[in-house]
């Protein structure tokens, strides 16, 4: 019986290993969200980053010909500055980050980085220059350590720990019995959205790219977690060119420029102070968000007192 059992057990192990490997690859493809239709141009060169100024010039885009998603979108993110993109759901905010990563090609206009059309450089060199903190971070079925080190494979252990500290995840990891060796992912410890996002931030800190794309999570975070994430993001975006896709306006008040997108068009842009006084779409979104926050605080206060 034992003889029969052992090979089966072994097979199970092998099967699990293969499955795990496949899951990692699937996940990686998801992370990269590769679109096979986008190919490197013959003789495409390497992107040369000198500061990382991003320009969208009259960009138009549609996923399918029947429906235009972006119309004549133009803006600049000067080297080292932060530009936030806000607007109602479905306005096309995440589409802008997908185009910048060249998961799709623009239908009209062009996108340049330091003057180079992103279609003229290799996708590998383009993506090497960018760090992405996505809305929903997908973790590999591996340890927390591995998940952070993924940002730069030749990083030393001390660099991994330093990145975790900067991303404000170190204190949390130290409370776990297995610390950095804790398995996470599908069959490991389930991390909260905020914890996963901080692992992604640590990964990005380690990669130290000149350009950052931050796609803020839509889910409401408690104010303590939100402050921790905000701190971590402020540190990682310092002196880098950053594009922030923002859902909570409170996190982008200090952005150098805010683009307000509505139905695929830039309808307003300016600093927070300028936009609030303009009494347009942004001022309306801001007032509504303040009201919702106030109501939440009052409810929390009432519950505390009860
Ligand atoms: P949210 O704030 O809800 O995340 P968003 O402003 O980021 O929204 P996008 O994700 O850019 O919006 O989507 C813009 C429009 O493009 C939406 O109407 C969406 O349905 C459509 N869209 C997004 N991805 C695809 C796709 N892969 N194929 C076809 N249409 C898509």
Residue among 67, 69, 73, 289 to mutate when testing ligand 1 (max atoms within 8 A of CB): 69
pLDDT at position 2, please? 46
Cβ atoms within 10 Å, residue 55: 17
Residue among 30, 66, 90 to mutate when testing ligand 1 (max atoms within 8 A of CB): 90
Q: What's the rounded Cα separation, in Å, for the pair 25 and 145?
A: 19
pLDDT tens digits in sequence order for the chain, 306 residues long = 444 455 555 555 544 455 455 445 545 555 555 566 788 999 999 999 999 999 999 999 999 999 999 999 999 999 999 999 999 889 999 999 999 999 999 999 999 999 999 999 999 999 999 998 887 788 899 999 999 999 999 999 999 999 999 888 999 999 999 999 999 988 888 888 888 888 998 999 999 999 999 887 665 566 777 777 778 788 888 889 999 998 878 778 889 999 999 999 999 999 999 999 998 999 999 998 888 878 878 888 888 887
Whose Cα sits closest to atom 15 in ligand 1? 90
Tokens for 257, please give them: 């420029």
pLDDT at position 31, please? 52
Whose Cα sits closest to atom 22 in ligand 1? 63
**pTM (predicted TM-score):** 0.82
pLDDT at position 1, please? 47
Residues 6+ away with beta carbon under 8 Å from 264: 68, 69, 70, 71, 73, 91, 92
pLDDT at position 221, please? 64
- Sign (positive or negative) of CA dihedral 169, 170, 173, 174: negative
Contact assessment for residue 271 and residue 260, using Cβ atoms and an 8 Å cutoff? no
Comparing C-alpha atoms, which of 106, 37, 32, 33 is closest to residue 68? 106
Residues 6+ away with beta carbon under 8 Å from 167: 198, 199, 201, 202, 205, 232, 235, 236
Please provide the size of the chain in residues: 306
Residues 6+ away with beta carbon under 8 Å from 145: 160, 180, 181
Distance 290 CA to ligand 1 centre (A): 25
Comparing C-alpha atoms, which of 122, 79, 84 is closest to residue 102? 122
Distances (CA, A) of 184 to 105, 147, 192, 202: 34, 9, 11, 15
In DSSP terms, which residues pair with 268 in a beta bridge? 260
CB of residue 93 inside a 6 A radius of ligand 1: yes
Q: What's the rounded Cα separation, in Å, for the pair 182 and 171?
A: 14
Q: What's the rounded Cα separation, in Å, for the pair 293 and 302?
A: 14
Tokens for 77, please give them: 């993110």
Name the 3-class secondary structure at 40. coil
Distance 91 CA to ligand 1 centre (A): 7
In DSSP terms, which residues pair with 57 in a beta bridge? 110
């Amino acid at each position: 019986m034992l003889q029969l059992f052992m090979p089966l057990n072994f097979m199970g192990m092998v099967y699990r290993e293969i499955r795990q490997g496949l899951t990692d690859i699937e996940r990686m493809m998801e992370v990269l969200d590769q679109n096979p239709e986008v190919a490197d141009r013959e003789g495409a060169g390497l992107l040369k980053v000198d500061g990382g100024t991003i320009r969208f010039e009259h960009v138009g885009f549609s996923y399918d010909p029947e429906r235009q998603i972006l119309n004549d979108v133009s803006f600049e993110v000067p080297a080292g500055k932060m530009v936030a993109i806000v607007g109602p759901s479905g306005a096309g905010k995440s589409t802008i980050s997908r185009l910048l990563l060249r998961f799709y090609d623009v239908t009209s206009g062009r996108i340049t980085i330091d003057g180079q059309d992103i279609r003229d450089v290799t996708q590998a060199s383009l993506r090497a220059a960018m760090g992405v903190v996505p809305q929903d971070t997908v973790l590999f079925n591996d340890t927390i350590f591995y998940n952070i080190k993924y940002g730069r494979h030749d990083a030393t252990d001390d660099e991994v720990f330093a990145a975790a500290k900067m991303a404000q995840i170190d204190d949390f990891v130290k409370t776990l019995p297995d610390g950095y060796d804790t398995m996470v992912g599908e069959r490991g410890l389930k991390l909260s959205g905020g914890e996963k996002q901080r692992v992604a931030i640590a990964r990005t800190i380690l990669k130290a790219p000149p350009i950052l794309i931050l796609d803020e999570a839509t889910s409401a975070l408690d104010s303590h977690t939100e402050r921790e994430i905000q701190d971590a993001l402020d540190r990682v975006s310092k002196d880098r060119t950053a594009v922030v896709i923002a859902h909570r306006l409170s996190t982008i008040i200090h952005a150098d420029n805010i683009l307000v997108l509505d139905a695929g068009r830039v309808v307003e842009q300016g600093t927070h102070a300028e936009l609030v006084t303009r009494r347009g779409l942004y001022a309306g979104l801001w007032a509504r968000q303040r009201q919702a926050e106030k109501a939440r605080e009052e409810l929390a206060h009432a519950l505390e007192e009860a």
